[in-house]
Structure 1
Amino acid sequence: MFTSHDGLCSIGELAEHAGVTVKTVRFYSDRGLLPEASRSAGGHRRYGPDALERLRLIRSLRALDLSVSEVHRILDDEDEAGGSALEAAVAGQLRELGTRLKALRWREAGLRLVQECPAGERADRLRLLGAVAAPPSTAPLARFWRGWLPPRMPARSTAAFLDAAVPQPPDDPTPGQVLAFARLNAFVTRPCTGGEQRRPAVHRTAGARGSAVLYAGLAEAYELAGAQLRRGRVPYAGEALDGFVAAYAGAYGTRDTADFRRLLAGQLAVDPRIDRYWELVAEVLTAPGGPVEPTPGSAHDWLLGALVAQSGAAA
């Protein structure tokens, strides 16, 4: 490739062959990415035959927006006949790019939301959107539930409940989904009133361990009820309701009887409710034009409806 008597080339020749500037070659050399083979008597850099291919590889890696330090690790890995550094760098870059694309989609949907709303509503929507990052964080929603759940409930049980109760923002949201998430964020971060600080009676009775058993049982019952909601079934007594009642009976340390079901129906009817939260969750999760996605809240209402209907019929 190089025509000099010693098979080496100057920094200018290397830059010309690679189609870059001398400044670029010097930059990569100074950072240890492109070692020089020797120096001339006048102190000028000389590069070996493999320098051109290495320089092209460096430019290709930099074109993927990899940092100089990442390129350094990849080249060291290549020199050691490895390859895992390149895989890790590409995977990391893809994750970062995915996050940036998601942020751009949320910003686009937010801009469309402001553009399409009536002029009188723009100030309110801007206020809501201004309180939410892009892409949005679910941390405020998780904090809301951690403050509502029984104290000292096992971490695994808490995590399982949060997975079901905290919706993940859509990757490609509609303006309506962005608005619903912004309203959900406002709902969980606004100052609480006295009534909202109350917890269900079972929290005070069951304790941390009992509550863990309760929520595990409720998760199964909600999943069964969600399947019925997707089919458009009206509330009815069946496997889902039996599991729902069994979860509460286990938490209270009692048996599932007709009397217990009547007492439970009355207790759940007066327990604190956060219907607005679940309505907004459904709006966040539901795809445009698709059926409304069941939530733990809508499943609870379906099961409570079945329990009240059964208890009323038995009475």
Structure 2
Amino acid sequence: MSYDGLWGIGELSEHAGVTVKTVRFYSDRGLLPETSRSPGGHRRYGPDALDRLRLIRSLRALDLPLPEVRRILDAQDRGCAEGGVLEDAVAGRLRALGSELRALRWREAALRLVRDCPPGERAERLRLVGAVAAPPSTAAPARFWRAWLPPRMPARSVAAFLEVAVPRPPDDPTPAQVLAFARLHALTTRPCTGAARPQPEAHRLAGARGAAVLYAGLAEAYELAGDRLRRDGEPGPGEALDGFVAAYASAYGARDTPDFRRLLSGQLAADPRIDRYWELVAELTTPPGGRPEPTPGSAHDWLLAALTAQTATTA
């Protein structure tokens, strides 16, 4: 340090253990202002510059971007506690890093999927996984269901349905789960061949408001049926089936009678199927080595089988 108590840029870089180029870089961006200039125009730094430079290096070592470093330093310069600003910056970087790690895990699983598949399937798998972002987005399945649900259905009811119907991709997927999601994405982005997607008769009969009542009731019935499915229960009468029928009866403004159950059984049997979607959901959400969790699709099939069996015996 010279007689005036200031350091030149070389002295500061030597004490901080960085290059002169690094000190100049932060100075040029206003993060490390010099105290003065020498008569020859050389930068001069005060003793507090060393602590500031060390703080900058620590923040950059955490991979915080320069704008966030500037906000933290500005808070310090104003005499404010930089803790809150630092916590916000670290939280934001953690969120970004989590997304980057998820993307890397999906890419790794996708690479293993392509590497380990039979040569004859490689082109198709490349096409499927190449159409999916990493980390994957659920926007396509959500659009699929929004187009399938009745128009003008209340937003709250649509959101509740999407929460159940659109699976959350696992953060650390297996190659099989990557393939299932890629196929799900392809299924839900495939162009329709007709004027509109085929929809259940319930959408026409219940209308937008009735459909909201219907899906709220079905969610409860599917949950009850899921409990039976987990116990390998055979389709049969009980609270789940009664709730299933009650959901349709409420939506239609009808009474739950044997005749209504027979009519409902026939209507549901004739409705268009989206079985492939629910099969892929089960593949995607089943943990490695685990048993498939019930989906709304498998619960619906269980309940329809129970209703069909019941109406056949009471005909």
Larger deviation, residues 160-169 vs 230-239:
230-239
Partner residue in 2 for 1:142? 142
Partner residue in 2 for 1:55? 53
d(CA) in 2 for partners of 1:290, 1:257: 40
d(CA) in 1 for partners of 2:229, 2:195: 29
Partner residue in 2 for 1:167? 167
Partner residue in 1 for 2:42? 44
- Mark the runs of 5 or more structure 2 residues left unpaired by the alignment: none
Describe how 1:186-225 pairs up with structure 2 within 5 A.
Answer: 186-194=186-194, 197-225=197-225
d(CA) in 2 for partners of 1:219, 1:167: 15
Contact 1:195 1:272 in 2 (8 A): no
- Mark the runs of 5 or more structure 1 residues left unpaired by the alignment: none
Contact 1:222 1:300 in 2 (8 A): yes
Partner residue in 2 for 1:116? 116
Q: Indicate yes or no: 2:153 matched with 1:153.
A: yes
- CA positional deviation for 1:6: 2.8
Aligned-partner SS, 1:81: coil
Describe how 1:1-315 pairs up with structure 2 within 5 A.
Answer: 3-79=1-77, 80-194=80-194, 197-315=197-315
Partner amino acid, structure 2, of 1:296:
P
Give a deviation string over 1:212-267, Cα, whole Å, max 9, x none. 11111111111111122112111121111111111101110111112111111111
- Root-mean-square deviation (CA), in Å? 1.4
d(CA) in 1 for partners of 2:192, 2:42: 72
d(CA) in 1 for partners of 2:132, 2:139: 11
- CA positional deviation for 1:195: 9.8
d(CA) in 1 for partners of 2:232, 2:114: 34
Partner amino acid, structure 2, of 1:218:
L
Moved over 4 A (4+): none
Aligned-partner SS, 2:44: strand
Partner amino acid, structure 2, of 1:285:
T
- Please give the TM-score of this superposition, normalised by the length of structure 2: 0.96
- Please give the TM-score of this superposition, normalised by the length of structure 1: 0.96
Give a deviation string over 1:255-287, Cα, whole Å, max 9, x none. 111211111111101011110110011000001
| Matched residues, number | 313
Contact 1:222 1:299 in 2 (8 A): yes
Partner amino acid, structure 1, of 2:57:
R
d(CA) in 2 for partners of 1:127, 1:203: 35
